[in-house]
A = this chain, B = another copy of it.
Amino acid sequence: MTHSPSVTPTADSVSPRAREDKESIPLWRRDLVDCLSYLGQRIETALDALLPPVEEHPNAAGPYGVCPARLARAARYSTLGGGKLLRPKLTLLAAEAVGGDDAIENALAAACAVELVHAYSLVHDDLPAMDDDDLRRGRPTTHVEFDEATAILAGDGLLTLAFGAVVAGVRPAERAAACVGILAEAAGFRGMVGGQMADLQAESIPREQGSVELLEAIHLRKTGALLRASLTMGAAASGANAELTTALDEYGRALGLAFQIQDDLLDATGDPAKTGKKVGKDLELGKWTYPAFLGVEESRRRARSLVDQAVTALRPLGDRSARLVGLARTLLERDR
């Protein structure tokens, strides 16, 4: 399971010292699965510390007061619900590719910010006035588990927290400000929010009048922008130069589109026990998807070609991009 030179003990038998040794293994000496699992743990711990606690003593409150318990529960439910944490892992891998192992600590807040924005966008997109989804990751969506008002406010709070996390965690201030700028552009009117709007508008256009080009223009904003920002924020947190930043941005662009095609393919052909969604739901709803426009085989071919493009884009990073290359390759094998 691991390329680490030390014997990997089971969780039960790990002494504090051994655990410390295990945690201090640099990323480049871990295999991809171990590396991603380690990063996932770091991100979950950091997210847990950032989110408001459910019960807070007034003395521990911020300058204005405490977060109401129900709102804190909804925020935690929406964020810590067992997501894949793909985006924040990309942030940390990009930071490490540019700045080495030491760069991960400094990029952790930027990684959390990306996941908080992703979580908020799911909560708001699932609302009755938007995509009206009841189920997410196999659990009731936030507005079903709580209520609409709580879901709207939880989303608003998560988005706000994302920016606060960046300036509280990324050093020096120039890099924090750069990350805030990248995130605001990617999540804003010309990025994710604009893409969701375009997606909702496309619903009233019959599929026969759509095209794969229009579909791609939506995805580049709705999901692609944040995925690209995940990488360029990691680069910015590590002080990357323009060449490496562009390389990571191009990798993110191709990976984002490949990821979206794979999402559409999973909807059309995946195992509902793994995806947590009904098969063919998109097709049934007349949604614009890659398989609907191109067929399953051509969609698969396009996803493979995009993964190749993503890998090629990483050339300026040389050996340091090995984990990002590995991640892109495994994308085509994912089943949820």
Q: Which residues of A does B touch, CB under 8 Å?
A: 52, 61-68, 70-72, 75, 120, 124, 127, 129-130, 147-150, 152-153, 155-157, 159-161, 163-168, 172-174, 176-178, 180-181, 183-191, 193-198, 200-201, 217, 220-221, 224-225, 228
Contacts and interface: CB of A to CB of B under 8 A. Distances in A.
A65 B221 contact: yes
Contact of A68 (B147, B153, B188, B198): B198
Nearest to A225: B64
Contact of A164 (B52, B153, B180, B220): B180
Contacts of A66: 190, 194
A130 B217 CA distance: 33
Contacts of A181: 164, 167-168
Contacts of A72: 189
Contacts of A153: 124, 193, 196-197
Contacts of A221: 64-65
A153 to B, nearest CB: 5
A193 B127 contact: no
Q: How many copies does the complex hold?
A: 2
Ranked 5 nearest A-B pairs via Cβ: A164-B184, A129-B148, A62-B190, A67-B189, A64-B225
- Chain A facing B: main interface SS: helix
Contacts of A155: 156
A190 B70 contact: no
A68 B193 CA distance: 10
A181 to B, nearest CB: 5
Contact of A62 (B156, B172, B191): B191
Contacts of A161: 184, 188-189
A24 B73 CA distance: 52
16 contacts: A63-B185, A64-B221, A64-B225, A64-B228, A66-B194, A67-B189, A75-B189, A124-B152, A130-B149, A155-B156, A156-B193, A157-B188, A157-B193, A161-B189, A163-B180, A164-B181
Given A64-B221, A198-B68, A220-B65, A190 B52 contact: yes
Contacts of A127: 152
Nearest to A72: B189
Given A173-B176, A190-B65, A129 B157 contact: no
Contact of A157 (B174, B178, B189, B224): B189
B130 A193 contact: no
A187 B63 CA distance: 12
Interface centre among A62, A190, A191, A195, by most chain B C-beta atoms within 10 angstroms, is: A190
Contacts of A157: 188-189, 193-194
Contacts of A174: 173
